[in-house]
Amino acid sequence: MTASARRDANDPERFFRDNMEGRPYCGVGIGQGLKVRCSLFMILRCGRLLAALQVSRQTWRVKFEGIRAVTFDVGGTLINPWPSVGQIYSDVAAEFGIEALPDFINMGFKEAWKSRHNFDYSQEGWFEIVRASFREQGEILPEEYFPRVYERFAKADAWIVFGDVLRTLDELAARELKLAVISNWDDRLIPLLSELGLRSRFEEVFVSCNVGFTKPSTVIFEQAVRWLKVPANEVLHVGDSQVEDYEGAREFGMNSVLVARGRRTFADHEIPSLSALPDAITGS
């Protein structure tokens, strides 16, 4: 399946909703007479998730004062696999003559990711996640499969930038807030962000493979705050993980908020999309 074909769908409403809410799109009939062509450009230009979800601004209460810097998680916060982890794993498997259903792999991946323990984001660690995602089929995957799929996720066409990201970053930068990334990732991240056109929007990128510690360790948050030269209580971290992002940042004394895409009710430390972030930061 080509990169352009993966961006086509015969159900544009579901295509838009799933990508904006952070769920991978797994439409059927992509190669069977496309009815509507939804371009990546259109998705990237859709900067207001609130309108798509019809969520009232009165449904969240989070506010932050005196913020001078904002740090961001990456996966699930700024970008998401495209069209899904399972589809990409399946496409690469097909190159080796192995048939596997994307939805089946997606379910296996969710289970493997949820049960991971002390994951170090190394190639070996990722290979174990991939193998577990295929369940029984993982035993028949050739060794050549793993570096091939690993390299696929280093490319921009395996990812989509959420539609609320660029406008939000522009609004925060216009307010002269310092922006940085704090991410659990490997050495593919910085080149990937460059290819996606995001690297230049951040003053620095702190990656767990370079720091030597993964979130929720306070070490990676401490290194970022020290580099930003801003007190921890004047830095806001934005992510999508309760433990790694919210609790990790709070443990170091930073402010933190979670993006809860696709939800209609929110805890006090959650916002419905990044589009809500500028309004949540006051007095900057």
**Could you tell me if 16 and 91 lie in one domain?**
no
The answer to whether residue 51 sits within a structural domain is: no
Q: Enumerate the β-bridge partners of residue 258.
A: 239, 270
**Could you tell me if 66 and 185 lie in one domain?**
yes
Number of domains in the chain: 3
The domain in which residue 150 lies consists of 83-157
Rg for the chain (alpha carbons), in Å?
A: 19
Q: pLDDT tens for the chain, 284 residues: list them.
A: 444 344 333 333 344 444 444 444 333 333 433 333 344 434 444 444 444 444 444 445 789 999 999 999 999 999 999 999 999 999 999 999 999 999 999 999 999 999 988 899 999 999 999 999 999 899 999 999 999 999 999 999 999 999 999 999 999 999 999 999 999 999 999 999 999 999 999 999 999 999 999 999 999 999 999 999 999 999 999 999 999 999 999 999 999 999 999 887 788 899 999 999 999 998 76
Residue position matching structure tokens 């991410």? 183
**Could you tell me if 210 and 144 lie in one domain?**
no
The answer to whether residue 181 sits within a structural domain is: yes
Domain boundary, last residue among 124, 157, 190: 157
For 178, phi and psi rounded to 5 degrees? -75, 135
Q: What is the pTM of this model?
A: 0.80
- Write b or e for each residue in 29-46: b if 16 or more Cβ atoms lie within 10 A of its Cβ, otherwise e: ebeeeeeeebebeebbeb
Is-contact 283 66, C-beta < 8 A? yes
**Could you tell me if 150 and 259 lie in one domain?**
no
**Could you tell me if 106 and 240 lie in one domain?**
no
Q: What is the CATH number of the domain that holds 117?
A: 1.10.150
The answer to whether residue 115 sits within a structural domain is: yes
